[in-house]
Amino acid sequence: MRLPLHTLPAFRAVAESQTLRAAAQRLHLTHGAVSQQIKLLESRLGYELFERNGRGIVLNAAGSALLCSVQSALATLEEGLMAAGAVARGGAQTLRVSVLPSFAQRWLLPRMARWRERHPDLSLEIETSQQVADLYRDGFHAALRSGEGPWPGVESEPLFDEPLPLIVLGCPETAQALPDTRPETLATLPLLGEKELWQIWFKAAGLNQPVNPVASFNDAGLMLQAAEQGLGIALGRELLAADAICAGKLVRLSPIGVNHELTQGYHLVYRPSLREWPPLLALRAWLRDELERSRSSLVTSLPRSALPAPRGGRR
């Protein structure tokens, strides 16, 4: 069977957008040209890939079965073209990564200088979002996600063997003003963060009482910044607070840490076709080295730190 390969980008665009008009705009083609390419592909295959109705066009079971392979194949071709173009121009290759805003702000960006020193010919293009990025649709090579995994259609590697517990953090001035760090004392302070998580922490600390945080945030980085400024005490991941702890901007106020579904560890997520792609291998190795550096720094500055060791594995 001679598959009309030029029709596959149109198939992918229609499948992902579920409208011919949106697919045509994405491909800079006319509505009729996209429709003809889909008809040609279905004709050559001998079966339909979409269900048509008055409201649009959606994948049928056969189309869904084909889409993942087409996405992967086209992504691989696109990566090859970008790599070849970079070599031909004598320029740097680019690795596009989706990252949570809090992880980017509190951990990743402060380490970018060491990335540039280690990989001067490999550019990182970082986009932050609270949403789970679709690596294929949005054109990312990899993502750093927080959660349990696995995620469909991609491979994921946990960066830690254990969950990252939530710990109580405050600025040095707050810590110095405390007569003690018993849960009863901490409960009298302005609390920053989610009410549910504070209730879980106080219950783990043996204190059952209503809690009313003075502020909640949709981004952990902003919450830790508020704690640094003395606006209250926060429940945060020690990894995100590592630099602030080492710099003396934040202090751990209790040895008690709690795990929750919202405290699942971080994963490196990537397209399966890129498993052995040199830029991805470089990112994986660098992340593990930097995480080990963070752990070592915390152990030095805070001997009772609860940060788990980075997960081992292929470098």
- Supply the pLDDT for residue 233: 96
CA distance 174 to 230: 7
- For the cut 80, the answer to whether the pLDDT of residue 243 exceeds it is yes
Q: Both tokens of residue 109?
A: 């960006």
pLDDT tens digits for range 138-189: 888 899 887 777 777 788 888 876 667 889 999 999 999 999 989 999 999 9
Residues contacting residue 190 through CB under 8 Å, at least 6 positions apart: 213, 214, 231, 232, 233
pLDDT tens digits for range 63-114: 999 988 888 788 777 767 766 665 665 556 788 899 989 889 999 999 999 9
Find the DSSP H helices in the chain.
8-17, 20-27, 31-45, 61-89, 101-103, 112-118, 172-177, 183-186, 195-204, 220-228, 238-246, 278-301
Bridge partners (DSSP) listed for residue 160: 310
State whether 125 and 178 are in the same domain: no
Number of domain units in the chain: 3
- Residue 193 belongs to some domain of the structure: yes
- Supply the pLDDT for residue 89: 58
Enclosing domain of residue 288: 93-161+264-295
CA distance 88 to 103: 34
* Percent of residues, the chain, with pLDDT higher than 90: 41
Give the DSSP per-residue string, 105-142.
Answer: IIIIGGGHHHHHHH-TTEEEEEEE-SS---TTTTT-SE
**Which range is least confidently modeled, 42-51, 126-135, 241-250?**
126-135
> Mean pLDDT, to the nearest integer, of 260-281?
80
Q: Give the pLDDT band (50/70/90) at residue 302.
A: low
Question: Would you call 157 exposed, middle or buried from its count of C-beta atoms within 10 A (0-12, 13-18, 19+)?
Answer: middle
CB 127 within 8 A of CB 96: yes
- Supply the pLDDT for residue 244: 93
The residue length of the chain stands at: 315
Q: Which residue has the higher pLDDT, 196 or 56?
A: 196
- Residue 145 belongs to some domain of the structure: yes
- Residue 309 belongs to some domain of the structure: no
- Residue 311 belongs to some domain of the structure: no
State whether 112 and 239 are in the same domain: no
- Supply the pLDDT for residue 308: 41
Residues 90, 314, 148, 61, CA torsion sign: positive
- Residue 12 belongs to some domain of the structure: yes
Q: Tell me the CATH number at 133.
A: 3.40.190.10
Q: Tell me the CATH number at 42.
A: 1.10.10.10
- For the cut 60, the answer to whether the pLDDT of residue 256 exceeds it is yes
- Supply the pLDDT for residue 292: 86
CA distance 119 to 250: 31
Domain boundary among 23, 53, 82: 82
Residues 40, 41, 45, 49, CA torsion sign: negative
- Supply the pLDDT for residue 176: 93
State whether 32 and 104 are in the same domain: no
User: What distances in angstroms separate CA 270 from CA 72, 138, 160, 275, one per listed residue?
Assistant: 11, 13, 17, 7
> Mean pLDDT, to the nearest integer, of 274-297?
87
Q: Both tokens of residue 119?
A: 């990989």
CA distance 83 to 35: 32
State whether 22 and 75 are in the same domain: yes
> Mean pLDDT, to the nearest integer, of 119-147?
85
Closest alpha carbon to 71 in 150, 154, 145: 154
pTM for the full predicted model:
0.67
